[in-house]
Every structure is written in C-alpha cells, then in structure tokens.
Amino acid sequence: MIVSASRRTDIPAFFADWFLRQLSAGAVTVCNPMNPAQQREVDLTREAVDAFVFWSKNPRPFFAALDRLDAAGYPYYFQFTLNAYPTLLEPHVPALADRLDTFRQLAERIGPGRIVWRYDPIVLTGELTEDWHQMQFASLCSQLAGLTQSCVFSFYTPYRKTLRPMARIGALQPDDDRKRDLIARLAPIAGAAGVGLEACCSAVDWQDLPVRPAACIDPIRLTRIADRPMSLKPDRSQRPGCRCVQAVDIGRYRTCRHGCRYCYAGCAGD
C-alpha cells in the first residue's frame, strides 16, 4: 500500500505531531471526504506500508519525523510545491528565502531523486505575466540546480470554491497555444539547470517540447526508492489524464492553514 500524505492538506507543515502519534499507534482513521460519517482504518505499520508520498509547501516542521521514518525503514519521497507568488495568492506560506533553505536542507538529507519540485499551479494575471513567470522560474532554477531532478507543473484549474477569490485577482484562463508558448520559454531554463519538466494532468500536446507526462504517485520512482518490485495499479479515482498509481490518502480537507487562493482543498476556517 502507498500512503499519500496528503493531497488534501499539508501534513508535513502543520500536523507532524499528529502523524507521529498515528505512526506510533500503527493505524489512522480516515474519513471519506464526500461522507465524513464513513470511516476506515488505515494500517500504518511497516509491513503494510510500501512507501509514503508527502506533499508540502513547508516540510521543515516535519524533519524530526524523518528520523522515525528512517529508523523504521519506510521508503518515502516528497512533492515540494515552491512558487514565488505574492501574499495575495499565498498569504500564509513562509518567506521564499526560508522555503528555499528548507528545500536545500531536505535535498541534502534525502537526495535530489526523492524530492520533486512542483511549480504548480501556474497562475496568469495582468501582473503575473509570461515575462514574470520566466524571470521567477529562472531564479528558482538557479537556486534549485542540483537539489532536484524533476519539476512538475500544471496551470490553474478553476474550482467552484476558488472562482470568486481568483476572479478578484484577475486570474486568466489561457488557451493551449498560450500555455505552450510559456512552457517553451521555461523548458530551456529547466534543461540548463538539469531539471526535467513534467506536465500534471494536461490535455495539451507537448510532443515537440522536452516535457514528460507526470505521475505524482510515480510507480518508477516508488520502485526505485523501495528498491524492490511492487504491484501498483493505476488510480482511476483521479481526474482525467492523471498517471498516478493507487494510494490511500490520510489527509482531511479544509485543515490546511496556508490559505492559498487557488487551492481546491480549502483551508482551515472555510
């Protein structure tokens, strides 16, 4: 079993102590996000968990938990979302310099093959233009060179709960040609930094660009990190175009405190 922690909230940033308690208990109770009254117990023992995939904008509070995971021999890797957006979009994430330092520390500890950089989602507005993204992406690439091998990107997808806040900041819905033009500008920057670009759940045809389809819960990466073959099946419950394999998510919606305006998962207090 692969455990995702979590697409629904930032467990490494806000719930490290909770995670360690569940790990010590050997199990966690997970609610169905569509029906909270429906619950299941997920076995977290080493025998049951083939690997963890952690998702975070700020995994620094989770560093102590890595000691426990390493001591018990759990395979794991991180999806680390790192943008350079203004507080208007990401009001409660740490300062960019602090997040870059956290990324560096994590990569030095677990290696660049176990930390995936997410430049995600790409939001275009009248101020966050293609030129802005090119400049910020180049700056991030220069600072992350050697610390990661992969960069997953996607473009902002409007969800019902995000429509109003994103409309207030003037979020645009670029067509496929505009998306391709921007990625064509970012691709050589990533290549020069030794970072492979991967598109998450994209219907755009990237064939003539150095872009691979992403699998965030990645069977190849999981097998390499675990150093053994695993029986992994495609996750049919995800949105169209998703190449992830099946995983059990142990997070809960509307508990993240970052408050990112574009987030489908909602934040605490919603």
Split at pLDDT 50, 70, 90, the class of 45 is very high
Q: For residue 32, is pLDDT > 90?
A: no
For residue 202, how many other CB atoms are within 10 A of its CB? 18
Q: Give the Cα separation of 205 and 220 in Å (integer).
A: 23
Split at pLDDT 50, 70, 90, the class of 135 is very high
- For the whole model, what pTM was predicted? 0.96
* CA neighbor of 119 nearest in space, from 110, 250, 236, 143: 143
What's the distance, Cα to Cα, between the start and end of the chain in Å? 31
Average pLDDT of the residues in 102-120: 98
Most confident by average pLDDT, 36-45, 131-140, 203-212: 131-140
pLDDT the model gives residue 270: 60
pLDDT the model gives residue 266: 78
pLDDT the model gives residue 195: 98
pLDDT in tens, 64-74: 999 999 999 99
Taking CA atoms, 172 is separated from 115, 129, 194, 198, in Å, by 30, 10, 30, 22
pLDDT in tens, 214-268: 999 999 999 999 999 888 999 988 877 789 999 999 999 999 999 999 998 876 6
pLDDT in tens, 151-182: 999 999 998 889 999 999 999 999 999 999 99
**SS3 for 249?**
strand
The kind and range of the H/E element at 105 are helix 96-110
